[in-house]
Chain A
Amino acid sequence: MTEAREAILRDVRAALGRSESSPVAPMPATAGVRAREPGSLEDEVDLLLAEVRRLDGVAKRVPDRGSLASALAGLVNAEAIRKATLWSTSGLVRWGVAEALRALGVELIAPGTDPRDLAECDLGVTEADAAIPETGTLLLRSSAAQPRSVSLLPRVHLAILTPAVLRPDLHHAFAEVSGSGYCVLITGPSRTADIELAVTIGVHGPRALHVWVVEQP
């Protein structure tokens, strides 16, 4: 074991003419490729929604808590949602997502339970930790309150976010994740073109992705 480790590192150093104490040259500059300039917050939200739609996701603005409840009713109806699971983030609690779903007659499954139960869910609700409008990307972290399977196993994934979490570039989004054990970038619903290059949505991950931007948190 350590023998293989030493052999590989020795071979690498011999090939490069380096030793264990050789200095490391400074990293090449990447300043030339830094981020695009973001537009106004309004424009950035528009861009995010447009990009998510371009990727076959469903995206919309939700003005406030009241309209969130009616939007949920619309979703439950349109996607025939009977069972759902959701994260317990401060936003989802504040917006009363669990209560609204329960009021619609949807059965709620605790997110930390057996993944088999989550796989039975029609809907998983998360709150994005960051989003990148340029690419239509959501960033989700993982923790006990934010289990990673909620955005993966249910048939439909709904991610709710506020304009405050928009970041102009990957580079800024990554500043949010230092110290995370696990996080994921989600760019549109799961897809493949493996059979005759026909774009097929919903292979292993969710078959539908809904992204809602709540404007008055």
Chain B
Amino acid sequence: MSRHFPTIDFRANARRVAPAVPAAVQRATMRFLANRAAVVQEMGQARWEDLRRAAHDLRLHTVEHLDYYLARAEAQILAAGGAVHWARDAAEARRIVLSIAQQHGARCVVKAKSMATEEIGLNHALEAAGIEVLETDLGEYLVQLAGQGPSHIIVPAVHMTKEGIASLFRQRLGVDAPAEPQALAGIARSRLREAFLSAEVGITGANFLVAETGTLVIVTNEGNGRMCTTLPPVHVAVVGIEKVVPDWESLTVLLKVLARSATGQKLSCYTSFITGPRRDPAEHGPRQLHVVVLDNGRTRILRDARARETLLCVRCGSCLNVCPVYNHVGGHAYGWVYSGPIGAILTPQLLGTAVAGSLPFASTLCGACSEICPVKIPIHEILLHLRRRAMEGDEMDPPVASGLIRAGAKVSAWFLRSPWLYAAAAHLAGMMQRPLWRDGWLHWLPPPLGRWTLVRPFPTFQGDFRSWWRRRRGGRIAARPPRNGTGRDD
């Protein structure tokens, strides 16, 4: 599947980002971080840490017994009168959803925000078949109208201004709107209200799928998730295999950390719990419920025990908010639907390192993401692991690095590992620079080092750290007994 995607060049993408984008993104991330800090403080750091630990343990337990909980969830959805479809990849998932929509003669489908459906490129497939697709989350609706991609997982249109939105509405909807958030939201509300009432199919993702009862859990603030699962006669939910949770008890823990981490709310406005289609026409709700269970590379993530915890993610977006790199480039630079630190580990695993091998390098490895993650994914460790996989090649893709660079890395590893070789090389380098010295600087270096001296001189090499240290401290350190008996700590 990775063959269909052009290579993601993070550096090139980042250079194309308009300066206004990071400014807008930072306003959002600062707001969310401040709100989050306030609700965490209100509950108490100790209780919060207990919750995070429990959330991590529960998610890991589920992922490590995923086959069992998936089979259980399937049986319960069927028992509640729903249908379950399994999709190995994006193409299979698109075919399933399209055929359900066509069976019901759908002309218009309404969608609640769902990363899984963006991942499989569902909108495009439905539109190609002549079906109108309306995103109903306000931010997603704006981004869709403008023909753009989301720049933040929680506030997709954070890069757009109210003036830009007003002129977008003038062009695309033919309405004259004041550049005022309440009025603009009102226009979107009335446009979408009509769509909710007339659409034949509602499509959503799911935040969780409770195996115990086969219950889909959908969290939204605007109420569009409720609309999509209440008004159209058919509801289709596209759910990644990792979304399953064992029971309502574990769901409690996860709901408590999700909204607090995402937006700093104690709970989002609406959390819907859907077990099968409606039981009585008078209660409203869809006549049919279809759950599409999506693999699309997730079992491959499961296979690598060192990266497996990527699948614990609950898509709260807090790692984006705290990431210094994300805050300076925004979501578009990551080149696909998932951005920020979670995108940097998820995308290369889903699309392959040949496509997204640059993303694990788009990080300072500061570890703030791992520290804030509500399910304690060791993101910075997985970033490092994926850097190695990208350089050396893995079961999906050949190495990203050229043979020369890999050989160079091997050789330098040798030198760095042996104090004796290292000292000898340092001494040699000191000798070799002599002919190039000019007033304490090196103004020219041979390729490939010459790329540095193209624009600035290089300071002369003063010898290696060990000999400098020995000279400085008069050999006092050497007099100490070696630590741990390794004898390498001179």
Contact = CB atoms under 8 A, between A and B. Distances in A.
Interface of A: 1, 4-5, 7-9, 11-16, 18, 20, 22, 24-25, 27-30, 32-33, 51, 111-112, 115-116, 119, 134-137, 142-144, 146-149, 152, 169-171, 174, 177-178, 180-198, 200, 202-206
Contact of A8 (B88, B223, B263): B88
B188 to A, nearest CB: 8
A188 B269 contact: yes
Contacts of B266: 51, 134-137, 187
Contacts of A11: 295, 299-300, 302
Interface stretch (B281-289, B354-362, B466-474): B281-289
A116 B156 CA distance: 30
B227 A191 contact: no
Contact of A149 (B74, B136, B284, B300): B284
Interface of B: 24, 27-28, 31, 47, 50-51, 53-54, 57-58, 61, 64-68, 70-71, 74, 80, 85-88, 92, 136-139, 142, 155-158, 160-162, 165, 181-182, 184-185, 188-189, 192-193, 196-197, 213, 221-224, 226-227, 230-231, 241, 246-253, 255-256, 263, 265-276, 278-285, 293, 295, 299-300, 302-303
A28 B253 CA distance: 12
A119 B221 contact: no
Given A181-B275, A184-B271, A184-B273, A28 B51 contact: no
A194 B28 CA distance: 10
Interface of A is mostly: loop
Contacts of A204: 136, 189, 192-193, 196, 222-224, 226-227
11 contacts: A33-B256, A112-B284, A148-B230, A180-B273, A182-B275, A185-B270, A192-B185, A193-B263, A194-B158, A198-B162, A204-B224
A115 B247 CA distance: 33
Nearest to B158: A197
Contact of B272 (A51, A119, A182, A197): A182
Contacts of B271: 184-185, 187
Complex A-B, nearest 10 residue pairs according to Cβ-Cβ distance, in ascending order: A205-B223, A112-B282, A28-B57, A194-B139, A11-B299, A203-B222, A204-B223, A15-B302, A198-B181, A190-B223
Given A148-B230, A174-B252, A182-B275, A203 B224 contact: yes
Contact of B197 (A18, A29, A115): A115
Given A119-B193, A184-B271, A204-B136, A143 B68 contact: no
Contacts of A137: 266-267
Contacts of A12: 66-67, 70, 241, 299, 302
A1 B85 contact: yes
A18 B67 contact: yes
A144 B280 contact: yes
B285 A25 contact: no
Given A16-B64, A28-B61, A9 B273 contact: no
A197 B255 CA distance: 23
Given A16-B66, A16-B67, A143-B283, A7 B58 contact: no
B388 to A, nearest CB: 20
Contact of B280 (A16, A25, A143): A143
Contact of B273 (A8, A182, A203): A182
B252 A170 contact: yes
A7 B275 contact: no
A30 B249 contact: yes
Nearest to A6: B86
Given A144-B282, A187-B269, A13 B249 contact: no
A45 to B, nearest CB: 18
Given A30-B249, A142-B285, A4 B88 contact: yes
B269 A191 contact: yes
A186 B269 contact: yes
B284 A192 contact: no
A182 B278 contact: yes
Contact of A27 (B58, B162, B222, B256): B58
Given A7-B88, A182-B274, A195 B223 contact: no
A163 to B, nearest CB: 21
B273 A183 contact: yes
A14 B190 CA distance: 50
A42 B221 CA distance: 29
B283 A147 contact: yes
Given A27-B249, A190-B221, 20 more contacts: A8-B293, A15-B300, A16-B65, A24-B68, A27-B58, A119-B197, A134-B266, A142-B283, A144-B283, A149-B231, A181-B276, A182-B273, A187-B269, A192-B138, A192-B185, A196-B24, A197-B31, A200-B182, A203-B224, A204-B222
Contact of B156 (A14, A147, A194, A202): A194
A211 to B, nearest CB: 14
A27 B61 contact: yes
Given A25-B61, A178-B213, A9 B67 contact: yes
Nearest to A142: B283
A137 to B, nearest CB: 6
B54 A30 contact: yes
A200 B193 contact: no
Contacts of B250: 27, 30
